[in-house]
């Protein structure tokens, strides 16, 4: 498993909140546990205190995406480095669930659960995954959805670095909004254009007289 895969942990956590819409789904221990997925040992250690701690980490991760989205690479890296220092990972070599044709383990790097608490474990995995994604693909691969008011975080994996939206739904909504805006502009211009042509014609007739 590529370690950049763990960057999805950062995206999932950041997108539990939509600030512009006033929405926040990170309101319970169950919501915290859901972020880990079904097979994470650390999820079972989550307590009420982790809700507040997760929100704090979420704000810091969003700041990384905001800096990257604004083109401030140095700030994005500095913010991510501070998370890496505070929440170090526990790397292990693992061979579970992966076998070759002879039944031998396919060894790969794995980030183990953090021994202290659920927040530390999740933050370590999310920060390290995001760090691998950033260094492997570039800071400009971290973005925030341009379909206002969404602003969800996303990881751009397109071949030409062209992604601008977090989902097909947001892309469609933005395209429809842009189309309607163009139509309104054309409708506003048409009467004005017609009146301008009419006035020009009248001026020309008056001049001939």
- Per the listing, tokens 């169950």 go with 30
Task: Say how far apart CA 9 and CA 36 lie, in whole Å.
Answer: 8
The 10s digit of each residue's pLDDT in 125-136 is: 999 999 999 999
The 10s digit of each residue's pLDDT in 132-161 is: 999 999 999 999 999 989 999 999 988 888
What tokens does 112 get? 């183990």
61 close to 14: Cβ distance less than 8 angstroms: yes
What tokens does 158 get? 């397109």
What tokens does 155 get? 């990881």
Q: What percent of the chain has pLDDT over 70?
A: 85
CA distances from 145 to 152, 164, 201 (A): 5, 6, 48
117 close to 51: Cβ distance less than 8 angstroms: no
pLDDT grade, residue 116 (50/70/90)? confident
Give the CA-trace dihedral at 193, 199, 204, 209, to 10 degrees: 160
**Closest-CA residue to 80 (of 15, 131, 12, 4):** 131
Between 152 and 194, residue with greater pLDDT: 152
pTM reported for the whole predicted model: 0.79
């Amino acid at each position: 498993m590529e370690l950049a895969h763990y960057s999805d942990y950062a995206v999932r956590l950041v997108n539990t909140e939509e600030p512009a819409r006033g929405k926040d789904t990170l309101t319970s221990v169950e919501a915290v546990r859901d972020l880990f997925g079904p097979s994470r040992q650390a999820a079972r250690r989550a307590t009420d205190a982790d809700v507040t701690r997760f929100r704090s980490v979420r704000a810091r991760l969003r700041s990384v995406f905001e800096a990257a989205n604004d083109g401030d690479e140095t700030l994005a890296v500095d913010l991510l480095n501070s998370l890496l220092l505070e929440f170090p990972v526990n790397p292990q070599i693992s061979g579970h669930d992966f076998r070759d044709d002879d039944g031998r383990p396919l060894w790969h790097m794995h980030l183990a659960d953090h021994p202290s608490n659920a927040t530390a474990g999740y933050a370590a995995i999310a920060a390290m995954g995001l760090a691998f994604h950033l260094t492997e693909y570039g800071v400009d691969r971290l973005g925030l959805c341009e379909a206002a008011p969404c602003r969800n975080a996303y990881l751009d994996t397109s071949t030409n670095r062209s992604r601008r939206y977090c989902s097909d739904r947001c892309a469609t909504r933005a395209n429809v909004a842009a189309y309607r805006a163009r139509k309104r502009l054309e409708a506003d211009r048409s009467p004005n254009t017609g009146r301008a042509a009419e006035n020009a014609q009248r001026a020309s007739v008056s001049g001939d007289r």
